[in-house]
Structure 1
Amino acid sequence: MPASPSTARAINDRLALRLLQQEGPLTAGQLKQLTGLSRPTVADLVERLTVSGLIEVVGESGEQRRGPNAKLYGIVAGRAHLAALDVRTEGVAVVVSDLLGHVLAEASVPIGGDTGTGPAVEQAVTLVERVAKEAGADRLHTVGIGAPGLIDPASGELRDSSGLPEWHRRLMTALRERFPGARVSVENETNLAAVAEQRDGAARDRDTFVLLWLGMGVGAAVVLDGAVRRGASGGAGEIGFMPLPGTEGLPSATDCDGGFHSLTGAAAVADLAARYGVTASPAAHEPLAAAFVREAVARVGAAPAADGFLDALADRVALGAAAVISVLDPGCLVLAGEIGRAGGDSLAARVQHRLARMSPLHTEVRPTSLGGGAVLRGALLRARDRAQEELFAPPQS
């Protein structure tokens, strides 16, 4: 059954908007070439989208031809403003962007562990207000939050956890109250890091991979056929609880001690470094465990202790990674988080070498290429996607 004229127009409009998002400003002629639509159809959609305030003339093409240059059309970036938050146990970082994801302002604030729930929430919300004001945003259309912990798939809220500050869970409600009308959502930080790595980072050429987060805690994000898989309860990738040989005891439903976390979490890595005599001076805001790894990488080949420490760490990482690979066969593993980032190519190569011995399933191991901004970048990408899906949706008849 052929599409109705209104449906066909909506499909064409969304196609044109998607191309303008991906390719940047285009002329009507370029839109005709890329969409395969007729010249009158393209002229009609350009007029519709201009009248609706979704696109505007942003310049002229530089083509050498007779007559005036063709107009370049682009998405109205200021049609909506978006905010992204990276919420950690020790603070929060915020960016505000336009509809195209161009960052207009950003800032962060530390929040001490002894800060009460109310004051911590107020600090975070005030920071969002300040950054939005600096960005010139009168209102926020969409707010995306990245946070540690499990997301309830039914409610979309952070589940209660004894290991996380209470202000994390209160923050969503406070943002909705302070920014009425904004679409506020939260996603697990590791999942958002994977979104960023797939769009802009180490996994750009992969639609199936696993991101292994090595930081204060340990987690994983599973991306299969281009989609992040969250699991039935939102807990896919909670590999810190995975029982493994080499730990003392077994993890419990409320405590990951005895699981993979006991081998590769920040405290375990720091203890391992001390065992090999590796020392380091952390940079500002750098976890001590990451500083040990960074220093060891810098001294590879020059200090046997550094090589021994990295080899022992790779043994531990590979043990958990092999279990994940045997179930999912992702073909690619990205090492992220503060420790994965500090280990870089040196740790990734060691882990890949061990996996090749432990598993018949070929797996390429890559370090993150986005540094410490992966979670914030992923939150912004998700916020942009959601805003564009709504704003670019065809009007209801």
Structure 2
Amino acid sequence: MPASPSTARAINDRLALGLLQERGPLTAAQLKQLTGLSRPTVADLIDRLTAAGLVAVVGEAGAQRRGPNAKLYGLVGDRAHLAALDVRTEGVAVVVSDLAGEVLAEASVPITGEDGTDPAVEQAVALVERALKEAGADRLHSVGIGAPGLIDPATGELRDTSKLPAWHRRLVTALQERLPGARVSVENETNLAALAEQRDGAARDRDTFVLLWLGHGTGAAVILDGALRRGASGGTGEIGFLPVPGTGGLPTATDCGGGFYSLVGAPALAQLAARHGVAPEPDADPPAAGAVRAAVRALDTPESDDAASAAAADFLDAVAHRVAVGAAAAVALLDPGCVVLGGEIGQAGGEELARRVERRLGSMSPLPTEVRPSALGGAAVLRGALLTVRDRAQDELFGAPAAAG
């Protein structure tokens, strides 16, 4: 059944807006070429989008060109302002952008929570307000928060767990109170990292992959057939609780000690580095990432003595073996074809660690699996949060694609 004229217009408008978001400013001729639409149809949609305040002329194509055909059309970024937060146990980072995705302000602050829940929440909210002021924005349309812990799939709220600081849960409510009108949402940090790697990072060519987060904490995210999978309780990817050999115990419902975390968590890898005589780089956070980076550097430096190179190689082999234990479980269940090593430790290991994990994984599993290092590292959570809220804001302002069909 053919689409109605209004439906066709909505589809065409969203197609053009998506291209302007992805590629930046375009001329009418470029929109015609990229959309396959006729010249009159492109002219009509430009008029509609301009009248709606979504698109404006932002320049001309070519230094010597003038006239209507040379006009460059771009998204009106200040139609809405967005914020993304990366909430960790030790601090908060925030980014404010416009609707077109241009970053206008960035800030971070360490928060330990030692002074109490209310002061910690106030520090975090004040950080967002300062970033908003620096960005020159009056209000926020949407706020996306990436946080450790489980997200209730029924309510979208951060679930209460024994390991989660109280100020994390209070922060969502405080932001809603202090930023009236803003849509505030929260998502698991590892899930956001995977979405960022899928859009802008190491998995841009993959519809199915698993991201292993190796940093202060340990987690995983699963993308199957292009979609993030959260599970019945929102707990898909809680791989730190995975029972594995070599830990001397079993995890419990409230403690992942004895699980995969005991092998690859930052404290465990720091201890492993010490046993191999590999010192972390100064001021590395976490130190385990500094040790992995130091080991990679020792192998890449011709001046390194044989003993240092041997220690570095043995340490990276040991790390790769531990990582492969958890990766093999995910591969056996999901057959994703690709595992991305994310987080600060995954990024520190780079191609060197990824190659070793892939080789070890190949000896443990009959399923061919490519292992790649993160392209975004610790910045992936903020990037994923920003992409998520930008998509939602654009769906609201531009019209969701599903509604147009």
Worse overlay, 29-38 or 118-127: 29-38
Aligned partner of 1:321 in structure 2 is 327
Answer yes or no: is the 8 Å Cα contact 2:151–2:188 preserved in 1: yes
Q: Distance between the aligned counterparts of 1:132 and 1:180, measured in 2?
A: 14
Change in Cα spacing, 1:68 to 1:204, as seen in structure 2 (3 Å) is closer
Aligned to 2:385: 379
SS in 2 for 1:149: coil
Taking structure 1 as reference, are residues 63 and 207 closer, same or farther at Cα in structure 2, changes over 3 Å only? farther
Distance in 2 of aligned mates of 1:58 and 1:49: 14
Q: Which amino acid aligns with 2:355?
A: A
1:298 alignment counterpart: 297
* Residues 1-397 of structure 1: pairs in structure 2 closer than 5 A: 1-62=1-62, 69-283=69-283, 286-300=285-299, 302=306, 303=308, 304-393=310-399
**CA distance in structure 2 between the partners assigned to 1:288 and 1:162 by the alignment:** 25
What is the one-letter code of the residue matched to 1:295? A
Say if 1:81 and 1:139, in contact at 8 Å, map to a contact too. yes
User: What is the deviation of 1:85?
Assistant: 0.3
d(CA) in 2 for partners of 1:127, 1:113:
15
- The residue type paired with residue 49 of structure 1 is L
CA-CA distance at 1:229 after TM superposition: 0.8
CA shift in 2, pair 1:381/1:68, >3 Å? closer
Q: Confirm or deny: 8 A CA contact 1:142 1:387 kept in the other structure.
A: yes
Q: CA deviation at 1:23?
A: 2.2
**TM-score between the two structures when normalised by the length of structure 1:** 0.95
The residue identity in structure 1 corresponding to 2:23 is E
Residues 265/46 of structure 1: CA separation in 2 closer, same or farther (3 Å cut): same
For residues 68 and 383 of structure 1, the distance between their equivalents in structure 2, rounded to whole angstroms, comes to 34
Cα deviation, 1:304-334, whole Å, max 9, x if unaligned, reads 2222211111111111111110111111111
Report if aligned partners of 1:62, 1:69 keep a CA contact under 8 Å in 2. Answer: no
Where 1:198 maps in the other structure, the secondary structure is helix
CA deviation map 1:160-214 (0-9, x unaligned): 0111111111111111111111111011111111111111111111111111011
Query: Which stretch of the first structure deviates more once superposed, 32-41 or 213-222?
Result: 32-41
The 8 Å contact of residues 27 and 69 in structure 2, kept in 1 or not, is answered as no
Q: What whole-Å deviation, never above 9, does each CA across 1:222-274 have from its counterpart, x for those lacking one? A: 11111111111110010111111111121111111111111111111112122
CA deviations on 1:341-386 (whole Å, 9 max, x unpaired) are 2212221111111011111111111111113211111111111111
Letter matched to residue 293 of structure 2 = R
362-371 vs 171-180, which deviates more?
362-371
**Aligned to 2:210, what secondary structure does the other structure show?**
strand
SS of aligned partner of 2:184: strand
Which of structure 1's runs of 4+ aligned residues deviate more than 3 A?
A: 63-69
CA separation of 1:154 and 1:105: change in aligned 2, threshold 3 A: same
Q: 2:224 & 2:68 partners in 1: Cα distance?
A: 48
CA contact (8 A) 1:294 1:342 kept: yes
Offset at residue 215 of structure 1 (A): 1.4
User: Which amino acid counterpart does residue 358 of structure 2 have in structure 1?
Assistant: Q
Q: Closer, same or farther in 2 for the Cα pair 1:67/1:181, shift >3 Å?
A: closer
Encode CA deviations 1:134-155: one digit per residue, 9 max, x unaligned. 0011000011111111100011
Contact 2:214 2:343 (8 Å CA) reproduced: yes
Asked if the contact 2:113–2:119 (Cα under 8 Å) also holds between the matched residues in 1, the reply is no
RMSD: 1.9
Once residues 255 and 65 of structure 1 are traced to their aligned partners in structure 2, the CA distance between those partners, rounded to angstroms, is 66
Deviation at 1:62, TM superposition (A): 2.1
The residue type equivalent to 1:127 in the other structure is L
Whole-angstrom distance in 1 between the partners of 2:23 and 2:378: 27
| Structure 1: gaps (5+ residues) | none
1:275-318 per-residue CA deviation (whole Å, 9 max, x = no partner) reads 2222234326x112212222222223742222221111111111
- Any idea what SS the aligned residue of 2:56 has? strand
Say if 1:63 and 1:69, in contact at 8 Å, map to a contact too. Answer: no
- Displacement of 1:45 after TM fit? 1.5
Q: Residues 112 and 392 (structure 1 numbering): CA distance in 2 closer, same or farther, change over 3 Å? A: same
Give the stretch that moved more between structures: 200-209 or 235-244: 200-209
CA distance in 1, matches of 2:331, 2:67: 60
Task: Name the CA distance, whole Å, in 1 between partners of 2:287 and 2:341.
Answer: 18
Report percent identity of matched pairs: 76
Q: How many residues align?
A: 396
For the residues of structure 1 that align with 2:49 and 2:281, how far apart are their CA atoms?
56
